[in-house]
Amino acid sequence: MTFEPLYSLSGLFVGALVGITGVGGGSLMTPVLVLLFGVHPATAVGTDLLYAAITKTAGTAVHGMHGRINWKIVGSLAIGSVPAALLMLWLLAGVDRKSIGVTNTITTALGWLLVMTAIMLVFRGPILELARRAIGDRTPPKPTTILALTVILGFVLGVLVTLTSVGAGALGVTILLILYPRLDVREIVGSDIVHAVPLTLIGGTGYWLIGEIDWPMLFALLIGSIPGIIIGSLLAPKLHERTIRIVLAATLAVVALKLLTG
């Protein structure tokens, strides 16, 4: 077991961006590990899932203290996401994860999710407005329909997060805002973070059981990211968050292009 300071430096950088923008570390950390350090995609995803479970636990405590958690949404998402995560782990355990096919599947899925995340970062407002206009004066969906759609969303997020470690943040929040337009955005974000904790913990534990966790790398990332998140949170009020989001979205788009084109 050797300690790699560059992992901690990357954790510091990613943690600071998470603190400033609130964007999940998965959309940043996994591509950094794959492209910058040459970590195998399966190992990068598994390690990042445990990393996310640990760092999001702190976010859960903060949102819980402020009463920003809608447990009905959390439970509905989990009904779909937990079986999906277990299904994906079962499929991954039964294949050669070092094969070209599996590697290409993970990197391609990751690339397209980064493209979608970049779009949500820049155009979430217009997308939500377009959705509201499309719904217009139509009769609001029944509570049972909203519940079913939330469970389906949870299933999709379970598949995406377990396969790539990306999806529960920008994508999940945007769709939840469309499904629950009357809820405070802070309650949606808080509920999404709380739901991500068991999902990433189950995913990370599953990758651990199939031998895809790099523990020294995980510890090194945490050493850098925890102070990074604190620094980013302190800097956030002093920075132009919209500009940061645009720069981050452009960066994710470039990274996605690299992943998709090889």
First to last CA, the chain: 30
Which long-range contacts (C-beta less than 8 Å, at least 24 apart) are formed by 98-105? 98/40, 98/42, 102/42, 103/40, 103/41, 103/42, 105/163
Residue 62 has a pLDDT of 60
pLDDT value, residue 174: 87
Per-residue pLDDT at 60 = 63
What are the tens digits of pLDDT across the range 76-103?
A: 999 999 999 999 999 999 999 889 999 9
Which residues neighbour 14 within 8 Å (Cβ) at sequence distance 6 or greater?
Answer: 25, 28, 29, 32, 225, 228
What pLDDT is recorded for position 251?
82
For residue range 45-73, list pLDDT tens digits in order: 999 898 888 877 765 666 556 566 889 99
Q: For residue 246, what pLDDT is reported?
A: 82
pLDDT at residue number 204: 93
What span, in angstroms and rounded, lies between the C-alpha atoms of 91 and 89?
Answer: 5
- pLDDT (tens digit, 9 = 90+) per residue, 18-30? 777 666 666 788 8
Distance of alpha carbon 146 from alpha carbon 170, whole angstroms: 20
Residue ranges in the chain whose pLDDT is less than 50:
none
- pLDDT at position 26 is 64
Q: At 120, which amino acid appears?
A: M
